[in-house]
Amino acid sequence: MEIQKVAVIGAGVMGAGIAAHIANAGLPVILLDIVPEGAENRNIIAEGAIAKLLKVQPAAFMHKRNAKRVTAGNIEDHLELLADVDWIVEAVIERLDIKQNLYKKIDAVRKPGSLVSSNTSTIPLALLTEGMPDDFCKDFMITHFFNPPRYMRLLELAGGKSTRPEALKIMADFCDQKLGKGVVSCNDTPGFIGNRVGIYWLQCAVLEAIDGGLTIEEADAVVGKPMGIPATGVFGLIDLVGLDLMPHILKSMMETLPENDAFHSVNSVPPLVEKMIETGYTGRKGKGGFYRLNREGGKKVKESINLSDGEYSTSKKPSLASVRAARKGGLRALVEYDDKTGQYAWRVLAKTLSYAASLVPEIADDIQAIDQAMKLGYNWKFGPFELIDKLGVEWFCNKLESEGMAVPELLRTAAGKPMYRVENGQLQFFCLDGGYKAVERSDGVLLLSDIKLGSKPIIKNGSASLWDIADGVVCLEFHSKMNTIDPQILGMVQKSLGIVQKDYKAMVIYNEGSNFAAGANIGLLLFAINIAAWPEIRNMVQQGQQVYKNLKQARFPIVGAPSGMALGGGCEILLHCDAIQAHAESYIGLVEVGVGLVPAWGGCKEMLYRWQSNPKHPKGPMPAVAKAFEIISTATVAKSAEEAKSLLFLGKDDDISMNRDRLLADAKAKALSLVEGYSPPEPYEYRLPGLSAKVAMEMAVDGFHKSGKATDYDVVVSNELASVLSGGNTDMSETMSEDDLLALERQHFVKLARQSGTIDRIEQMLEKGKPLRN
């Protein structure tokens, strides 16, 4: 069976988000909900949910047109539509009686063999299916998405005693390959993995911060980057999720977990939190939470609450010796630091990690599943057992014993052996029987991190490395800070071209960082500007242009494989590749105007080419120029790979991988498919309208300026961009070569680099610590 059509019942935040993401995968979706009493429009809830999805940020749909794949209806009038679907997702209110009543209605109309799942994370599957026919139980499972469904990669999959193994496999494969999820199989226990461990961790962190007399800034600084946890930390995360959700989750845990479970020791809502919820301080969706923005006097001042007295004051970033010690000495240096923040770090980790270790095999069959769930569901950089390895298994157990804490049986069995090890280039994890088992990847998954375990780079420097990924294909990896493009990366690209030309068939440009490439290294540029090193700046621009030109003219196929941000110079690399295999969550754009510059490594040239050669775009001298100007002058960033196709950052033959773990394998396959008969693209000759187009674009910018939508310096930058895209002094009777356009890019880039407005913008960007984007 193949899942080709889906129905979601329940058009709340989660149900609607699930429907949107299934539509992102290209499938038709039916979205049903109840009929409100007295409603004239009986589909009002589902229709309203779709309308909200089109406005919500971050966007639920990868492209607004995907909303057309979602059909709104209601349970009373349209339940018969379920007879035509392959998967029915239940995402209604967490009440057992309501769910069971709905299942009876579903079973009466669904087609034989169709899959049915619940998005619950609080009600055991055995209770959900109690009293249901055997055929229904065979097709029933739990598919627990995390919010927001588009962006959170974790999907917890749990089957019951009667669930068909083939049904679970169909679901796992679909959610992996079509929805891009990291599917983690778990047991039918309260909270499954993510919420069982994650909520326990949050509770520990909050209660220990209160008991230890920490500020919320101190707590978030400790339980953040030093532990490999997102910068939101604990209190920022609770603000994001919503303080009002915590009591409901805790109540469910209290009711469903056994009396002797350690969760009960942290299952309490502090009086301060109760008061915050009562007064509307429920987090970002309310008046604020542990953090809030004070907008008095027209200003925006970030404030934080005092955990002792509940009063707000201006939030201050702490400078902690324990955190500095962790930068040098790692995680153990943090928990061994002898002050209240070091002691806090130990208490949170000791409880959280020992609790996670005590739950194997109750919640999952092995430690890898728990680590994956926490990394995918809570964005931890390291899972609980990877963190135990960082502390040292023996050290951790000895420390627990010295403080009178129980040592979980799993860790006693390990007897000091690590939770993970590498044997013959293969990553292995520790098992309950005392042995090790290899970490297995699904077919079609290829990770550079796995390749690194058993090989060394062909060549490397401080910012980039070249790896042999077999079958005559190499992978060029960036690893500078935020993967910004610097001279070392440019040098590595040039060296790699020579190596591949001699010894290999094709190259993929890919990395497993958070971003493909967050633009050029503007810090280096600012330094050169400040010392008036204008010849060096010209050389830097010319070097980038030449390297990218060589990339495009290489005699073998090159495939760009972005994920995350590909901005500025990172976008320009992709524009010079033969093909792109993009992760669905790729955010691509030419954003140089944001720092007062124009794209100068071929970005203007390539965008003009793409819009001039697009058969669906109007012909003539102006349309392509106007479109490129619109995209570049507004620093437009595609908010998905699908949107990038509409903007022509991706071409019609470029492809999208929904699951990031499959991106490298997909890109490699694409590169190999281009090898036979490959020849580089022929140089393109441009016919550009010249002065008339420049004047037209300047007039458009002037209109924005007069209406207050563009600053004085926006006008300066946009006019320089107009000079490049119009072709300068050319006219339609002349042709321009690619080198002619590169010279224009270079000229106007250097001209803008001399302006004080550009220096101010670069300094502001660096001060904010943000990548090169608008």
CA angle 423, 460, 329 (to 5 degrees): 65
Q: How does pLDDT run across 466-496, given as a tens digit for each residue?
A: 999 999 999 999 999 999 999 999 999 999 9
- pLDDT score of 206 more than 60: yes
Report the alpha-carbon distance of residue 561 to residue 579 in Å, rounded: 9
pLDDT at 534: 92
Neighbouring residues of 307: CB distance < 8 A, sequence distance ≥ 6: 209, 210, 214, 215, 216, 272
Q: What are phi and psi of 470, to 5 degrees?
A: 80, 165
Report the alpha-carbon distance of residue 329 to residue 343 in Å, rounded: 16
* Inter-residue contact 515 to 566 (CB < 8 Å): yes
Q: How does pLDDT run across 448-470, given as a tens digit for each residue?
A: 999 999 999 999 999 999 999 99
Q: How does pLDDT run across 209-239, given as a tens digit for each residue?
A: 999 999 999 999 999 999 999 988 999 999 9
pLDDT at 774: 32
CA angle 680, 683, 688 (to 5 degrees): 150
pLDDT at 773: 39
pLDDT at 314: 96
Report the alpha-carbon distance of residue 683 to residue 703 in Å, rounded: 36
* Inter-residue contact 590 to 572 (CB < 8 Å): yes
* Average pLDDT over all residues of the chain: 96
- pLDDT class for 26, splitting at 50, 70, 90? very high
Q: Which of 347, 324, 346, 323 is nearest to 335 (CA)?
A: 346
Proportion of the chain above pLDDT 90, given as a percent: 93
Q: At 771, list the tokens.
A: 């990548």
3-state secondary structure of 583: strand
Neighbouring residues of 173: CB distance < 8 A, sequence distance ≥ 6: none
- pLDDT score of 85 more than 90: yes
Residue 652's Cα: distance from chain center in Å?
Answer: 24
Q: What average pLDDT does range 296-312 have in this prediction?
A: 93
Report the alpha-carbon distance of residue 555 to residue 500 in Å, rounded: 9
pLDDT at 352: 98
Q: How does pLDDT run across 347-393, given as a tens digit for each residue?
A: 999 999 999 999 999 999 999 999 999 999 999 999 999 999 999 99
- pLDDT score of 771 more than 70: no
Burial of 338 (0-12, 13-18, 19+ CB in 10 A): exposed
Report the alpha-carbon distance of residue 189 to residue 153 in Å, rounded: 21
Mapping DSSP onto H, E and C, the string for 284-336 reads CCCCECCEEEECHHHCCEEEEECCCCCCEEECCCCCCHHHHHHHHHCHHHHHH
Q: Who has greater pLDDT, 774 or 125?
A: 125
Q: What average pLDDT does range 701-716 have in this prediction?
A: 95
Q: How does pLDDT run across 89-134, given as a tens digit for each residue?
A: 999 999 999 999 999 999 999 999 999 999 998 899 999 999 999 9
3-state secondary structure of 657: strand
Q: Which of 390, 273, 333, 774 is nearest to 571 (CA)?
A: 774
Q: What average pLDDT does range 44-70 have in this prediction?
A: 97
- pLDDT score of 310 more than 60: yes
pLDDT at 769: 64
Beta bridge partner(s), residue 205 = none
* Inter-residue contact 614 to 554 (CB < 8 Å): no
Proportion of the chain above pLDDT 70, given as a percent: 99
Q: How does pLDDT run across 728-752, given as a tens digit for each residue?
A: 988 888 999 999 999 999 999 999 9
- pLDDT score of 150 more than 90: yes
pLDDT at 172: 98
Report the alpha-carbon distance of residue 75 to residue 43 in Å, rounded: 9
Q: What average pLDDT does range 287-303 have in this prediction?
A: 92
Mapping DSSP onto H, E and C, the string for 4-56 reads CCEEEECCCHHHHHHHHHHHHCCCCEEEEECCCCCCCCCCHHHHHHHHHHCCC
In 96-187, beta strands by DSSP E: 115-118, 140-145, 154-159, 182-185
Q: What are phi and psi of 691, to 5 degrees?
A: -60, -40
Percent helix / strand / coil, the chain, rounded to 5: 50, 15, 40
CA distances from 72 to 17, 31, 59, 61 (A): 14, 5, 19, 16
Report the alpha-carbon distance of residue 180 to residue 659 in Å, rounded: 4
- pLDDT class for 766, splitting at 50, 70, 90? confident
3-state secondary structure of 75: helix
pLDDT at 770: 52
Neighbouring residues of 385: CB distance < 8 A, sequence distance ≥ 6: 356, 357, 367, 368, 370, 371, 419, 420, 429, 430
Q: What are phi and psi of 82, to 5 degrees?
A: -65, -20
Report the alpha-carbon distance of residue 74 to residue 10 in Å, rounded: 9
Report the alpha-carbon distance of residue 29 to residue 20 in Å, rounded: 8
Q: What are phi and psi of 516, to 5 degrees?
A: -60, -55
Neighbouring residues of 141: CB distance < 8 A, sequence distance ≥ 6: 115, 116, 117, 125, 157, 158, 159, 160, 163, 167, 168, 171
